[in-house]
Amino acid sequence: SRLHCESESFKMDLILDVNNWLYPMEL
């Protein structure tokens, strides 16, 4: 269960990284 959660967060981090690369935004 914990491994699943870590992989989910890892995928979310990847998605965020890709989004930041494709759509850079000033925060």
Closest C-alpha among 17, 10, 12 to residue 2: 10
CA dist 22 and 12 (Å) reads 15
6 membership: H or E segment, kind and range: helix 2-22
Q: What is the pLDDT of residues 8-22, one digit of tens each?
A: 899 999 999 999 988
Q: Which pLDDT belongs to residue 11?
A: 92
pTM, entire model: 0.51
More reliable by pLDDT, 3 or 25: 3
If pLDDT is split at 50, 70 and 90, which confidence band does 5 have? confident
